[in-house]
């Protein structure tokens, strides 16, 4: 029993000491600390395109929570950028010009007390949206106009197209092109083959905007090809179907795209799967739209992910590829860039609208097409397609 007494007594004393301490002073961290932390020091600036990286030494305050940068950008918006109290740098961005910009840096503690500001000047390089505009080109394409540019820094931007169809200065908005691709190539569709005055500018996510490109263009004619003329071309080596589905289902004009049943090939396929069909007669092709089935989502199971489209006018009956011309190799890209199993509203809208891919404008006319699935969203080879629409001119 005496041994137990000597064990309990030190424990009791330790608890007494801890409980008698002010909770706010444990580990030297003060809650409701009325004293502001010291400011950052040894500030250095590394200017970048449309932004700047600011490095600094952290103050020696145990209750430091974060560093805050406060500044204004061209549209008058005041921005705040926060960096953890465990890192010694932050990035200020959203700049539209290369003029000097004043940045105030504050050290903030856990009681939200801010230090005296340290003021530093940054001189951003040319903003990405302006670099994109400098490379921006517009041209006529089937059913609309195409925009091309280089996006060196993969900035998130919108290319905003406008049309003055009557030439009286009454500009109408067309569909914006939203992208962060390094190589921008996008088409604005649904326009008549009539000459018009077009305008294009680039806008970034801070609503900074570039100058405007003005150009007269005449969209090329395109039409939805007549699905009543489509027929399966059954060739050796083409995919086998499951669940009593057929290839004809992809052009049966159903409007409930994404619903079951739809064309569904053998899940056990161990190599890329192909389907072949006739579009009725030779046509100059402009684009193909693949409508995926929606089960758990549009980006799942046998829906196409990486695929090829081939064309021919005299297909070999043995199923070989020598008589076919590859027209495109395409990859379905989720607008959000999110991983498989995580879909945003933009991803859903893209799947519902159908995945559209342009044929090369210099391609010859073809009567027969083959779709070859290289990889689906399960990283295997079987295919699901709800509908296919093909555009062009017979």
Q: Where in the chain are all domains bearing CATH 2.60.40.10?
A: 41-122, 128-220
Fold of 128-220: Immunoglobulin-like (2.60.40)
Q: Assess whether pLDDT exceeds 80 at residue 26.
A: no
Whether the bond into 364 is cis, omega within 30 of 0: no
What is the 8-class DSSP label of residue 128? H
Q: Which of 200-209, 249-258, 279-288, 305-314 has the lowest mean pLDDT?
A: 249-258
pLDDT band at 28 (very low <50, low <70, confident <90, very high): very low
Residues 39, 119 contacting (CB under 8 angstroms): no
Q: What is the topology classification, in CATH, of domain 224-393?
A: Jelly Rolls (2.60.120)
Class of domain 41-122: mainly beta
Is the pLDDT assigned to residue 392 strictly greater than 90?
Answer: yes
pLDDT in tens, 150-202: 999 999 999 999 999 888 889 999 999 988 889 998 999 889 999 999 999 99
Tens of pLDDT, residue by residue over 40-54, are: 999 999 999 999 999
- Extended beta strands in 320-364, E state: 325-331, 355-358
Distance between CA 290 and CA 132 in Å, rounded? 30
pLDDT, tens digit, for every residue of 243-271? 999 999 999 998 787 789 999 999 999 99
Reduce the DSSP state of residue 217 to 3 states and report it: strand
Query: Mean pLDDT throughout 207-235?
Result: 96
Q: What is the residue whose two structure tokens read 């052009």?
A: 251
As a whole-number percent, the residues of the chain with pLDDT over 90 amount to 79
CA–CA gap between residue 304 and residue 313 (Å, rounded)? 25
Q: What Å distances lie between residue 334 and 78, 181, 188, 305, 341, CA to CA?
A: 32, 12, 19, 10, 11
Give the angle subtended at the CA of 217 by the CAs of 216 and 219, to the nearest 5°.
160
pTM of the model: 0.73
What single DSSP character describes residue 142?
B
CB atoms within 10 A of CB 339: 9
């Amino acid at each position: 029993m005496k041994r137990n007494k000597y064990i309990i007594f030190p424990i009791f004393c330790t608890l007494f000491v801890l409980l008698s301490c002010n909770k706010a002073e444990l580990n030297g961290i003060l809650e409701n600390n009325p004293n502001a932390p010291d400011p950052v020091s040894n500030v250095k600036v590394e200017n970048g395109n449309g932004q700047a990286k600011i490095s600094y030494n952290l103050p020696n305050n145990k209750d430091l929570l974060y560093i805050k940068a406060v500044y204004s950008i061209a549209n008058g918006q005041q921005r705040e950028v926060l960096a953890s109290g465990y890192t010694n740098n932050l990035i200020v961005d959203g700049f539209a010009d290369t003029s000097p910009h004043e940045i105030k840096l504050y050290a903030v503690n856990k009681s939200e007390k801010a230090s005296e500001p340290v003021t530093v000047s940054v001189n951003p390089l040319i903003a990405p949206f302006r670099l994109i505009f400098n490379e921006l080109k517009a041209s006529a394409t089937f059913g609309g106009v195409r925009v091309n540019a280089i996006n060196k820094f993969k900035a998130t931007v919108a290319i905003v197209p406008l049309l003055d169809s009557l030439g009286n200065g009454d500009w109408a908005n067309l569909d914006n092109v939203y992208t962060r691709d390094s190589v921008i190539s996008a088409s604005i569709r649904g326009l008549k083959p009539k000459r018009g005055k077009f305008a294009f500018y680039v806008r970034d996510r801070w609503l900074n905007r570039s100058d405007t490109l003005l150009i007269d263009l005449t969209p090329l004619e395109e039409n939805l090809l007549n699905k009543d003329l489509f027929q399966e071309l059954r060739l050796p080596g083409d995919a086998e179907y499951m669940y009593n589905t057929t290839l004809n289902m992809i052009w049966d004009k159903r409007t409930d795209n994404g619903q079951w049943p739809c064309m569904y090939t053998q899940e056990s396929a161990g190599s890329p799967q192909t389907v072949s069909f006739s579009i009725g007669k030779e046509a100059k092709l402009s684009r193909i739209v693949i409508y995926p089935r929606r089960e758990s989502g549009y980006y799942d199971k046998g829906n196409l992910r990486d695929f090829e489209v081939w064309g021919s006018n005299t297909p070999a009956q043995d199923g070989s590829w020598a008589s076919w011309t590859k027209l495109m190799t395409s990859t379905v890209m989720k607008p959000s860039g999110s991983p498989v199993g995580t879909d945003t509203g933009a991803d859903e809208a893209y799947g519902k609208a159908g995945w559209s891919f342009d044929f090369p404008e210099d391609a010859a006319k073809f009567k027969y097409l083959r779709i070859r699935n290289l990889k689906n969203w399960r990283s295997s080879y079987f295919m699901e397609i709800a509908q296919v629409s093909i555009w062009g001119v017979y």
